[in-house]
Amino acid sequence: MPGCFGIGDFGPCAYEFADFLLAAGQKLWQVLPLNPTGYGDSPYQCFSAFAGNPLLLSLERLRDQGLLEESDLAQAPPFPEDLIDFGATIQYKRPALRRAAEVFFADASRADRAAFDRFCERASPWLDDFALFMALKDVHNGTAWTTWDAEIRRRDPHAVSEWTLRLARHLNEIKYWQFEFFRQWEDLKTYCRQRDIRLMGDLPIYVAHDSADVWARPEMFYLEDRGNPTVVSGVPPDYFSTTGQLWGNPIYRWDVLEADGFRWWIERFRASLALFDLVRLDHFRGFESYWEVPAREATAIHGRWVKAPGKKLLSALRNEFGELPIVAENLGVITPPVEQLREEFGLPGMSILQFAFGTDPQGPSFRPHNYSRDLVAYTGGHDNDTAVGWWASSGATDSTRTPEDVRKEQELARAYLNFHDDAEINWIMIRAVEASVAAVVIVPLQDVLGLSNSARMNLPGTVSGNWKWRYRPGVLSGELSARLRSLTVLYDRDSGSPIAMEENRLR
């Protein structure tokens, strides 16, 4: 989102976007993980699986609460309009957030202070560890927890007590930012709900190694004595890389998680379902079998498939929450057991139109005439190029495709989509998925706006330059919302339609 403070936030632009969705007849807003980003600024490498990213806090809303002065906001440097400079944003926003925390603790009303205390008590199973972890990272200049002194690295009780006392003021600041994060998000969620817009979140299968989750619960992961992983996550060679993708996250010790009835996963889902109406379960394939790579390897080639207790985990979740409002991200190397697991628990899968025309043997299943109703269809995902960028690609620099593969892919796509050179490929693709029988269709905003690959969100296998795109102010025009609404109405995806009633089952 645009905005004056370097990064999209829960301020006016978020509410304007909800208004755009309403005008465009849209019912579902999907977001990337909202946790505090770490390595590579990736929302899939976060410092906590439970906490919110304080950079998303709206300074304008803090000003309206009397926690910041107008002068605090006037000091913002000139940030880029269409991308995030994470370093500059952090350098500007953190002092402002500290000022807001200082004012809150000095002048908060009795009701606000009581609300803060209730939040801290309710969130204590993760909040205390997270706050201490982040404060310790600041003390250690941001270095990974495995480099800290042995006593605090291993969470010696005496060291934990000593550091908690020493860092008490900073711990309160961090807890306050979390309090405001969830308060601002809940306000936005309520605004969306009043407009019949539901929010869909994203739950990554893995957590980052340098996170409060791993530091606080090392017994849940395969780690050596110092805390470094012995095996890490990834996927074998795929569409995006001939050497596979080496994600580097530590692998769960599923036997330990199972021994206490998957309580950590249950609490993680509870936290996610408190934020969202619907959750995309990332890398669903890994809940049936996951690709395990020795930590010493430089690529993901020399890994192996290892069975995971997906059925037991999903059963525990269903016993706790009833019918699961989950969309299974069933992309990649999908085998019959993976699909059996998804179907057994009644979870809709995903389809990406960009994958429909290439050499992948699963390509035909991504073509709209082969869709099932119990499906969420996309023109592309956050790992794909934009529709315009994908169509303009001639060298396959973003994938394992050869130039000849690209030529054949575009030839098939041209015939299948009945595409002519004077048409807009992004709208041709949007129409194709909307006209399908898939119960739900989600379109990346870049494709609605018809942007080139300069607006791509992520290029798998790269660690820099990703997750930075922002849309420019003023682009969400009435003409654009009317165009999107017309397709929504044309294909009976507006409220009260059979598709909408089918969609209700995914709540």
* DSSP tally for the chain: helices H, then strands E: 19, 11
Burial class of 356 by CB neighbour count within 10 A (0 to 12, 13 to 18, 19+)? buried
According to DSSP, the residues that pair with 232 across neighbouring strands are 250, 293
The three-state secondary structure class of 476 is coil
| DSSP-derived secondary structure letter, 37 | B
With both helix axes pointing from N to C terminus, report the angle between 310-321 and 263-275 in degrees, rounded to the nearest 10.
Answer: 50
Active site residues: 282, 329, 383
Q: Which residues of the chain have pLDDT under 50?
A: 395, 497-502, 506-507
List CB contacts of 377: < 8 A, sequence separation 6 or more: 350, 351, 353, 368, 371, 433, 436, 438, 440, 441, 442
* Residue spans of alpha helices (H) in 212-309: 212-216, 254-259, 263-275
d(CA 492, CA 207): 39
Tell me which residue has tokens 């906490």: 51
At 223 the three-state DSSP class reads: strand
Neighbours of 169 (CB within 10 A): 11
- The half-sphere exposure of 169 on its side-chain side, counting CA atoms within 13 A, is 4
- Angstrom distance (rounded) from CA 245 to CA 222: 19
Burial of 203 (0-12, 13-18, 19+ CB in 10 A): buried
3-class SS at 319?
helix
Which DSSP state fits 252?
Answer: B
Sign of CA dihedral 381, 385, 386, 388: negative
| Cα–Cα separations (whole angstroms), residue 444 to 6, 425, 426 | 21, 14, 10
> b vs e for 271-302, b when ≥16 Cβ sit within 10 Å of the residue's Cβ?
bbbebbbbbbbbbbbbbbbbbbbebebebbee
Buried b (16+ CB within 10 A) or exposed e, 361-374: eeeebbbbeebeeb
Distance CA 426, CA 37 (A): 30
Per-residue burial over 317-342, b = 16 or more CB atoms within 10 Å of its CB, e = otherwise: beebeeebbbbbbbbbebeeebbebb
| 3-class DSSP state of 297 | coil
